[in-house]
Chains A and B, each alone.
Chain A
Amino acid sequence: MIRRWVGLLMLGAVVLLLSGCWDSIELNRRAVVSGMAIDIQQGDKPKYKVSLQVIIADEISGKYSRGGAPVAVYDGEGRTVFEAVREASRKVPRYLSLGHINALIFSEELARDGIQDVLDYMERDAQIRTTSQVYLAKGQMASDIVKVMTQIGKIPSSDLAQKSQASSRLLGDNYRVEIDDVIRALQIPGGGPIINGVKVEGDLQTAPTKSNIEQINTPGILQLEGVGIFAGDKLVTWMNPHQSRGLIWISDKIQQTAMVTGCADAKGFVAYEVIRSRTQVKAELKDPEHPVIKISVRPQASIKELNCDLDVRKNAVLDQLKQELDKVIKQEMQSAVEEAKRIKSDVFGFGSVVERANPKAWNSLKSRWSDVFAHLDVEYNVQTVIRYSGMRDRSYRSQNTKEEE
């Protein structure tokens, strides 16, 4: 008898336990947030305004589409980010699901004020992945950035993430910056993070409307715009594309990029594509008080465009071009280092290089690193290899072709 009861009890338990996960929230009760924009507010208002870009699944999949926008933006205000996010849920009919945020956008104003207070939530929350990319809205409200209709990708945030990936591969003046990269950079004494800038170019009024994607000439287009460099957690200045590429040369994040140099002695320009590159940064501490940073870069390039009369079959000519290219790359790195020195922020992580080279010296330098950094000696060594010249060797304008034949 007891056995039967125990058996029944067990069955009941099994039914209860197998029925599902205690915490489960079905997909149709979730609102998937694809992007988050954080603005800072002045005056009496609560400190942060968080705009959540929520995917409207029906509009994406098409079948039940009502022809509306593919995403909706809801905002909430609060003294902390979490408060603001939860506050936004007054406007959202579903459970906000933050696990799929592609892009996290800070406004420039917030960045200048300091981003320290907004990152803790991103790191602490178990849902938010640290793989989300971080952007700065250059000169605009962060909420404007999440409200742009984009042509190719339906979801603006993932469109933005794809844009930055594509441009880092093709142009190479920015690279993927994720939440944990920013947090790590904040920990470096005398250092600071770098964050890609983003901007709505054109008409801010039309950008959120459907007519933004109805024209060939997109009125408001979301695009990457420079790189913001920080001292500590505060945005100080923006790097121009040349400087930011210099920074990326140093950080060894170059995948591919396009370079242009003059034609040695002749008039005109040569364009190269850098196929791959390897950078090594070393610190030399003969005098522990005055470290010397040695950067050696080994890019491999191929000629993409040759607008002058050069015979690139000849090794001597290639050597000349290589010299030119080395000089340009070196200049880019120099200008990036000068800019960082000017604001006294070790965005390259030279501090860690020194620490690896000589932990003891680093301990004494650590506390005044930003001052040491401002007067740091940096040596550059660029050794480009021009590997290919493309489908032709000489240009069609070349004189020697005719003479030879």
Chain B
Amino acid sequence: MEKNRITSFQLFALMLLFQMGTSLVVNLGMRAGRDAWISILLGMGYGLLLFGVFAFLYRLFPGMLPTVYTQILFGKYLGWVVGVVFIVFFVYQTGRDLRDGGALMLSTALKQTPLIVVNGLMIMSVAYVIHKGIEVLARTAIIFAVVVILIGSFSSILLILSGVIEMERIFPILGRGIGPVLETFYRQSYAFPFSEIICFSMLLPYLGNAKTGVKAGYIAILVSGIILSYTSMINVAVLGVDMVQRSPLPLMTTISKASISDFIQRNDILIVMTLIIDDFFKVGIYFYVALIGTADLFKIAYRKLIYPMALLVLLISLVVAKSLPEHLEEGAEILYRIDPFFFVVIPLILYIAGWIYKWRTASKKKAASSGGQLQSSAEPHGAEGAEAKQPEDTQGSDANQAQGTQGSDANQAQGTQGSDAGQPQGAQGSDAKQAQGTKGSDAGQQEDTQGAEAEQPEDTQDAQLAGSKRGSGKDQAVPDPGSEAEPTRGKTSED
């Protein structure tokens, strides 16, 4: 049960690059005119909120993919369907982002090159890295995050030194009132790019250290939001709001204005580099998430899926639109009607269901310790409650069986990784708070000290058991975040 797969810093780098992918170079939020930077910051706020939801769910079900816990929360069938819907969305987004990168490259740098060549090369390199595993992608991310940040600072210095920044162009702030900013927020900037972090919910289970990992996630969203907001400000300050609004890639023009005594100039290539790097990681992460989701839902080894899926994604990227304007219009005019479903509705339902689940398990435990009559009190709880109840019941009974076989294993893993409930099984019956106080293990220190949170180790343990039971029950083809042996087995069988 090796679980330390990506470190918190790697997650930070991945998220940073993911957030900046394509959104750094496009005219983000320019519907709000020169106040785009405000709407980007608002979008960042929403991103933080959304990440909080998934961090909560992650703490509730540590080590579990969302495709697994939606089945716990929504019931087996509905949960599975929700999982599939998300996977479809992820695959589509992979294709879109692939197209984004390709089309932007073609319209600026490689005019003669066919789209399929650029997209094909990109998806091939993405598929290669994914084949090597998430760890490789994460390690690559650190290197490239450094490169991107260096390019960014260098470009900023160039722009400042060449004196093309006229800050007065971003004034008046909120000249047209808050209306356009809010409109931009709900039309675009809450979703793109900040809500796209929902796909990191699929990566969180791979974290080595839950607490610092989640913190790194928050910081990454914050940093990327500030970078994007700053970029938008610089664009307007250099080019003026009108020109930024009219250009699909304002950053290219902005950077081409930087020229130091006619010696250091024509730095647009830096932006093309940034575009390629960021787009690579965006496509890579979406692709990986889509892959492991599919693998989990259909019980296929994810490495077997890489190349067929790559072809599918390539195809989507080619047929998604016939021109760049159509592609962008699709993004701006159609997706904003669909996005709320993925970025608002489902996370909200998941969050509520998560709370209900948590409350139920907690009260069940209390009842179990004080006599064992709780079920009746937990019954009247709306549709979600009922849905959530079903798997729980089975799980409850399963857990007991599994405990004997899996218990020691789970304990070991938890003990070594020290991120989740590293609490001895024996303590389960007693009050969680007490257990935490006495044992002083990692779990106790890392959980929040609020009353509600304090009960978490028990919940998580239940969940973990259910998860591990599931894993051992079926021949697990998913790269279950935790098992290193599985993928390798998959590979050998391929040969």
User: Which residues of A approach B to under 8 Å, CB–CB?
Assistant: 17, 21-23, 99, 123, 126, 129-131, 178, 180, 183-184, 187, 352, 355-357, 359, 362
User: B18-42: contact bitstring with A at CB < 8 Å (1 yes, 0 no)?
Assistant: 0000000000000000000000000
**Whole-angstrom distance between the Cβ of B237 and the nearest chain A Cβ:** 12
Contact between A131 and B171, CB atoms less than 8 A apart: no
Q: Can you name 20 A-B residue pairings with CB atoms under 8 Å?
A: A17-B121, A22-B112, A99-B266, A123-B243, A126-B108, A126-B111, A129-B266, A131-B256, A131-B265, A180-B239, A180-B243, A180-B253, A180-B257, A183-B243, A184-B239, A355-B172, A355-B175, A356-B172, A359-B176, A362-B175
User: B240 within 8 Å of A by Cβ?
Assistant: yes
Select which of A23, A123, A131 is within 8 A of B257 by beta carbon.
A131
Q: Bound state CA distance, A21 and B112, in angstroms?
A: 10
User: Helix, strand, loop or mixed for chain A's interface?
Assistant: helix
**Whole-angstrom distance between the Cβ of A248 and the nearest chain B Cβ:** 16
Chain B residue nearest to A362 (CB atoms) is: B175
Contact between B109 and A184, CB atoms less than 8 A apart: no
B162-183 with Cβ < 8 A to chain A:
168, 171-172, 175-176
User: B166-202: contact bitstring with A at CB < 8 Å (1 yes, 0 no)?
Assistant: 0010011001100000000000000000000000000
User: B393 within 8 Å of A by Cβ?
Assistant: no
Chain A residue nearest to B242 (CB atoms) is: A187
**Whole-angstrom distance between the Cβ of B244 and the nearest chain A Cβ:** 11
User: B449 within 8 Å of A by Cβ?
Assistant: no
Q: A22-B117, A183-B243 are in contact. Are A126 and B107 (CB under 8 A)?
A: yes
Contact between A22 and B257, CB atoms less than 8 A apart: no
Contact between B111 and A23, CB atoms less than 8 A apart: yes
Q: Bound state CA distance, A23 and B118, in angstroms?
A: 12
Q: Chain A residues near B242 (CB, 8 Å)?
A: 184, 187
Contact between B256 and A129, CB atoms less than 8 A apart: yes
User: B110 within 8 Å of A by Cβ?
Assistant: yes
Contact between B113 and A22, CB atoms less than 8 A apart: yes
**Whole-angstrom distance between the Cβ of B239 and the nearest chain A Cβ:** 6
Contact between A356 and B113, CB atoms less than 8 A apart: no
B434-450 with Cβ < 8 A to chain A:
none
User: B455-473: contact bitstring with A at CB < 8 Å (1 yes, 0 no)?
Assistant: 0000000000000000000
**Whole-angstrom distance between the Cβ of B310 and the nearest chain A Cβ:** 15
Q: For the complex, count residues of B whose C-beta is within 8 A of A.
A: 25
Q: Bound state CA distance, A131 and B159, in angstroms?
A: 13
Contact between B109 and A126, CB atoms less than 8 A apart: yes
Q: A126-B107, A130-B253, A187-B240 are in contact. Are A359 and B112 (CB under 8 A)?
A: no
Contact between B253 and A356, CB atoms less than 8 A apart: no
Q: Bound state CA distance, A356 and B256, in angstroms?
A: 27
User: B259 within 8 Å of A by Cβ?
Assistant: yes
Q: Bound state CA distance, A352 and B107, in angstroms?
A: 32
Q: Chain B residues near A180 (CB, 8 Å)?
A: 239-240, 243, 253, 257
**Whole-angstrom distance between the Cβ of B359 and the nearest chain A Cβ:** 50
Contact between A23 and B243, CB atoms less than 8 A apart: no
Q: Which 5 residue pairs across A and B have the least CB separation, nearest first?
A: A359-B175, A22-B113, A184-B240, A356-B171, A187-B242
Chain A residue nearest to B108 (CB atoms) is: A126
In the complex, besides A17-B121, A22-B112, A131-B265, 20 extra interface pairs with C-beta distance below 8 angstroms are A21-B110, A22-B110, A22-B117, A23-B110, A23-B111, A23-B113, A99-B266, A126-B111, A126-B252, A129-B266, A131-B257, A180-B239, A180-B257, A184-B239, A187-B242, A356-B172, A356-B175, A357-B172, A359-B172, A359-B176
Q: Chain B residues near A126 (CB, 8 Å)?
A: 107-109, 111, 252
**Max count, chain A CB within 10 A of own CB: residue among B121, B168, B265:** B168
User: B234-257: contact bitstring with A at CB < 8 Å (1 yes, 0 no)?
Assistant: 000001101100000000110011
Q: Bound state CA distance, A352 and B175, in angstroms?
A: 11
Q: Bound state CA distance, A262 and B117, in angstroms?
A: 72
Q: Chain B residues near A184 (CB, 8 Å)?
A: 239-240, 242-243
Q: Bound state CA distance, A131 and B171, in angstroms?
A: 24
Q: Chain A residues near B175 (CB, 8 Å)?
A: 355-356, 359, 362
Q: Bound state CA distance, A356 and B242, in angstroms?
A: 15
B105-159 with Cβ < 8 A to chain A:
107-113, 117, 121
Chain B residue nearest to A161 (CB atoms) is: B262
Q: Chain A residues near B113 (CB, 8 Å)?
A: 22-23
B266-304 with Cβ < 8 A to chain A:
266
Q: Chain B residues near A183 (CB, 8 Å)?
A: 243
**Whole-angstrom distance between the Cβ of B29 and the nearest chain A Cβ:** 19
**Whole-angstrom distance between the Cβ of B36 and the nearest chain A Cβ:** 16
**Whole-angstrom distance between the Cβ of A350 and the nearest chain B Cβ:** 13
Q: Bound state CA distance, A359 and B178, in angstroms?
A: 13
